[in-house]
């Protein structure tokens, strides 16, 4: 009986050694992947707000009026496919334009503690009398893009992009870049008095 146990143990140990040493493949952990995001074809339609400014907006977005009054408008450009909104505020320039620009700067830099970097890009369209700034915030921030556009004398538009879920800069990068192109197009096609 003892020799039988020894033979069985020897066979078992030999089998385990063969199994462990026979595999040449080394296990390599794979990085996390993200779902493929379908980005629609770029196409725009001209839209006039209740505040008498117009610009080209993407056809795959919707306008959501938040509030309008005689001297201001709040509306959202909603991207249902991406769970995103651009919150827009229009104000007529009644006071110092410098104060309004400073406020836009302060709103963008409130995200500084979470941002890896904040890049500013000036934008000028002399044909439409539009001057503006785009703030690109990198990292896991609540609002990765903020902007303002103005004619410097009568009109001021400020906007901020927000996603309706926890920020993840890596997975949102293609969508953020896609919407950024729409924001630039919108700014370049602004007509202050349609």
What is the DSSP code string of 73-126? EEEEEEEGGGTEEEEEEEEE--S-HHHHHHHHHHHHHTTTTT-SEEEEEEEEET
* Residue range of the domain that includes 101: 44-188
pTM for the model stands at: 0.79
Please state the rounded mean pLDDT for residues 17-35. Answer: 67
Our CA angle for 84, 188, 121, nearest 5°, is 75
Inside any domain, residue 21 = no
Among 3-7, 43-47, 127-131, 171-175, name the most confident range.
Answer: 43-47
Look at residue 28 in the predicted model and tell me its pLDDT. 75
Inside any domain, residue 153 = yes
Inside any domain, residue 39 = no
Inside any domain, residue 194 = no
Look at residue 23 in the predicted model and tell me its pLDDT. 58
Which pLDDT band, with edges at 50, 70 and 90, does 189 fall under? Answer: very high
| pLDDT over 70 percentage in the chain | 88
> Does the pLDDT value for residue 20 go beyond 70?
no
Question: Tens digit of pLDDT for each residue in 58-113?
Answer: 999 999 988 877 777 899 999 999 999 999 999 888 878 888 889 888 888 887 77
Rounded Cα gap, residues 140 and 167, in angstroms: 5
Look at residue 2 in the predicted model and tell me its pLDDT. 65
Dig out the tokens for 173 from the structure.
């990068």
CATH number of the domain to which 50 belongs: 3.40.1000
Inside any domain, residue 4 = no
Q: Find out whether 185 and 125 touch, Cβ atoms under 8 Å.
A: no
Q: Find out whether 159 and 146 touch, Cβ atoms under 8 Å.
A: yes
Rounded Cα gap, residues 1 and 96, in angstroms: 101
| pLDDT over 90 percentage in the chain | 42
Please state the rounded mean pLDDT for residues 16-38. Answer: 69
Inside any domain, residue 152 = yes
Look at residue 34 in the predicted model and tell me its pLDDT. 64
Inside any domain, residue 155 = yes
Inside any domain, residue 18 = no
Number of domains within the chain: 1
Q: Find out whether 161 and 176 touch, Cβ atoms under 8 Å.
A: yes
Look at residue 170 in the predicted model and tell me its pLDDT. 77
């Amino acid at each position: 009986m003892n020799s039988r146990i020894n033979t069985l143990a020897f066979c078992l140990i030999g089998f385990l050694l063969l199994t462990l040493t026979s595999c040449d493949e080394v296990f390599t952990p794979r990085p996390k992947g993200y779902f493929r995001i379908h980005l629609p074809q770029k196409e725009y339609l001209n839209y006039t707000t209740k505040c008498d400014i117009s610009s080209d907006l993407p056809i795959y977005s919707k306008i959501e009026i938040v509030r309008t009054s005689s001297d201001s408008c709040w509306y959202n450009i909603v991207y249902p496919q991406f769970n995103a909104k651009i919150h827009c505020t229009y104000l007529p320039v009644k006071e110092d334009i410098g104060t309004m620009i400073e406020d836009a700067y302060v709103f963008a830099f409130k995200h500084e503690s979470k941002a890896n970097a904040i890049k500013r890009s000036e934008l000028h369209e002399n044909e439409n009398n539009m001057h503006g700034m785009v703030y690109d915030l990198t990292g896991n921030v609540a609002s990765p893009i903020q902007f303002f556009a103005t004619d410097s004398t009568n009109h001021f538009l400020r906007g901020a992009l927000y996603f309706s879920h926890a920020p993840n800069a890596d997975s949102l990068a293609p969508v953020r870049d896609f919407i950024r192109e729409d924001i630039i197009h919108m700014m370049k096609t602004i007509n202050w008095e349609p």
